[in-house]
Structure 1
């Protein structure tokens, strides 16, 4: 019987698929770390108190990249090239979601509107990340090889999501509510399309590595498209709601280290 747990167990037990999974994850996290570091450096003067939180967000993402690379080292595996069609972060940028890398590579300070776009984009993508890590934590929190990593990353992603909610609510109170809702909706609808395409691409590559039958790969692709259909009709709305989180000031301190995975 196909289930999220059984599918990931297959990926975990096979060196080639595990290396691909960790390489894709590490690449995305490292890219997120760079983006946040650049945003922190370019924060407008009126929002400088936000810079340490953005820096913390980026440091967490960098840490997650190191963790995924360390998980490969523990298995004696080397990172593998990330197929372009599986690069979630870069595909989002290609579709105009978030802040353009050309802007982040420059030295011109960002505007308050840019920060609203950054936070809205992050609120959507961190929802996805939090849900994915919660799924892994539910099934693999006690796993001897990946359990500690899963719990640490899941905790961080929940913090990132809480931070986005709190900061966006602050900007909404300051008069940016309509811009936030418009940007959240645009980001969410684009993200679910990119997530669908990336998920199908990842499953296709995993299927080749694991020797899945064409029927199994097709069945999984159908399931991914069905999830997209639900998200396109109604599921995307969970990505655009805002509520004050239980975890207040979730990124107010220094980032925790990942020394145990080095």
Structure 2
């Protein structure tokens, strides 16, 4: 029987599929860390109170990248080059979602709208990250190898999502509500397309490594397309709603010192 747990267990049990999974995850987290670090450095003068929170966001992403690399090291594996079609964060940028790298590479302060775009993009992508990590948390929170990593990353992703909600609501109260909703909708619709394409690509690569049957690959592909159809119809709406989070000021202080994963 196909299930999220059985599929991930299959990927975990094979060195090559596990190496590809961790390499893809580590690459995305490292890119997110760089982006947040640059945004923190370029926050406009009128919004400098946000800079420490953005920096904290970036530090968490960097930490997640180190965690995935540590998981590889524990298995005696090295990261592999990430196939272009599986690079979620790069493909989002190619679709014009978020702040372009050439913009972030310049020593020029961002605008208020740039910060809103960053927060809206993060609100959408952190929704996805939070949901994915909660899925892994449900099945692998007590796993002897993955458990600690899953718990740590899931907590961080929930904090990032809460931070995005709170800051966007602050901007909405300041009169930017229409802009926020417009950018959120644009990001959400682009994200669900990219997520579908990346999911299909990852499953194709995993299928080649694990030698899945054509029937199994077809079934998984159909499931991905069905999820996309649902998200295109109504599921995207969960990515654009805003609500005051239970956890307030989730990134308002430096990360508490903790023993590095590895």
TM-score if structure 2 supplies the norm length?
Answer: 0.99
Q: 1:261 and 1:228 mapped to 2: Cα distance?
A: 34
2:152 equivalent to 1:173 = no
Q: 1:193 and 1:82 mapped to 2: Cα distance?
A: 19
Report how far residue 256 of structure 1 moved.
4.3
4+ residue stretches of structure 1 with deviation over 6 A? none
Q: 1:260 and 1:7 mapped to 2: Cα distance?
A: 28
Q: 1:43 and 1:171 mapped to 2: Cα distance?
A: 15
Asked whether the 8 Å contact 1:42–1:110 carries over to 2, the reply is yes
User: What SS does the aligned partner of 1:261 have?
Assistant: coil
Q: 1:136 and 1:208 mapped to 2: Cα distance?
A: 23
Report how far residue 253 of structure 1 moved.
1.5
Over 3 Å counting, the alpha-carbon distance change for 1:34 and 1:87 in structure 2 is same
Report how far residue 258 of structure 1 moved.
6.2
Aligned to 2:205: 205
Aligned to 2:20: 20
Aligned to 2:35: 35
Aligned to 1:244: 244
2:164 equivalent to 1:164 = yes
Aligned residues: 262
2:63 equivalent to 1:57 = no
2:183 equivalent to 1:183 = yes
Q: 2:181 and 2:142 mapped to 1: Cα distance?
A: 39
CA displacement, residues 47-98 of structure 1 (integer Å, 9 cap, x when unaligned): 0000000000000000000000000000101101100000000000000000
Q: 1:63 and 1:109 mapped to 2: Cα distance?
A: 26
Report how far residue 261 of structure 1 moved.
2.1
TM-score if structure 1 supplies the norm length?
Answer: 0.99
CA displacement, residues 141-178 of structure 1 (integer Å, 9 cap, x when unaligned): 00000100000000000000000000000000001000
Report how far residue 218 of structure 1 moved.
1.1
Asked whether the 8 Å contact 1:63–1:258 carries over to 2, the reply is no
